Structure 1
Amino acid sequence: MNNLIVDAARNKIFLTLIIDKNIYTCSHENSKINFEKLMILINRFLNNNKCTLNNVGRIYVNRGPGSFAGIRNSLAIIKALFLTKKIDYYCFSFQDFKGFDEIKYKDVPNLCEQFKIKKNLINPIYLS
């Protein structure tokens, strides 16, 4: 099962794709223009790695804390993908993973399972 990780809450937009044991990543400037074309960036990233949304089994999205616009746009896109493509998603925060100092994106699916992050639940954390 292929996993897509989307993080638009931080100072850059990070995309990570896990296909079996292969891990692909890219980052983009955290800007209004990129937030508006986030779905285009996701599709381009998947295509560059010979994958499509039809091949993605789960999506993990960072719910914050962080950029209001980044979190709002990424959550809206992921929710739309759930409704249209029936791709389950997990909204995580790095704060959910207590006891882990340095977390890599490739670890997120296992950590979500370990910490029993609920699927298809949105609870954003915005910075004020």
Structure 2
Amino acid sequence: MIINNDINYHMSFENSKNNFEKLTLLINEFLKMKNLDINKVKQIYVNRGPGSFAGIRNSLSIAKALNVANSIDYYSFSFTDFVGENDIKFENIPALCKKFKVKKNLINPIYLS
């Protein structure tokens, strides 16, 4: 999820080896499709699992790289962080992260075993 000027944009893709290898290209296409400039993005929300090791590792590595390169804050969440919430949608993630005090720029991946 990317938030730009209080507008939320999100995307998800099929879990495949191809997507792992071209994730940065998919993000660039997404930004172009939404007419977003990466330099104006302030926050990124990344689902940290549960999921495959490679998928989570790639997603979080890219979020950290964007943080370092562009000073974009990232929030690494899992739907299990929001215990007791009944209606969780991608649009609610920023508010839920705030409500449940999910810390920015902190990663605790949850891998499937």
Normalising by the residue count of structure 2, what TM-score does the alignment of the two structures yield?
0.91
Among 68, 73, 83, the residue aligned to 1:88: 73
Structure 1 unaligned regions, length at least 5:
6-16
Q: Secondary structure in 2 aligned to 1:74? A: helix
Q: Secondary structure in 2 aligned to 1:117? A: coil
Among 78, 97, 110, the residue aligned to 2:95: 110
The equivalent residue for 1:127 is 112
1:65-100 deviations in whole A, cap 9, x for unaligned? 112111010000000111111101011000000111
Report the CA distance shift for 1:80/1:18 in structure 2 as closer, same or farther (over 3 A): closer
**Structure 2 residue 16 is the aligned partner of structure 1 residue 28:** no
Report the Cα distance in structure 1 between the residues aligned to 2:63 and 2:101, rounded to whole angstroms: 19
Aligned length: 113
Bigger share in strand: 1
Report the CA distance shift for 1:36/1:122 in structure 2 as closer, same or farther (over 3 A): same
The equivalent residue for 2:60 is 75
Among 29, 34, 37, the residue aligned to 1:49: 34
Report the Cα distance in structure 1 between the residues aligned to 2:93 and 2:64, rounded to whole angstroms: 19
**Equivalent residues of 1:18, 1:24 under 8 A apart:** yes
Q: Secondary structure in 2 aligned to 1:27? A: coil
Bigger share in helix: 2
| Corresponding letter in the other structure for 1:98 | V
Report the CA distance shift for 1:45/1:103 in structure 2 as closer, same or farther (over 3 A): same
Q: Identity of paired residues, percent?
A: 60
Structure 2 unaligned regions, length at least 5:
none
Q: CA deviation at 1:21?
A: 6.5
Aligned Cα root-mean-square deviation (Å): 1.6
Normalising by the residue count of structure 1, what TM-score does the alignment of the two structures yield?
0.81
Q: CA deviation at 1:102?
A: 3.0
Q: CA deviation at 1:26?
A: 3.9
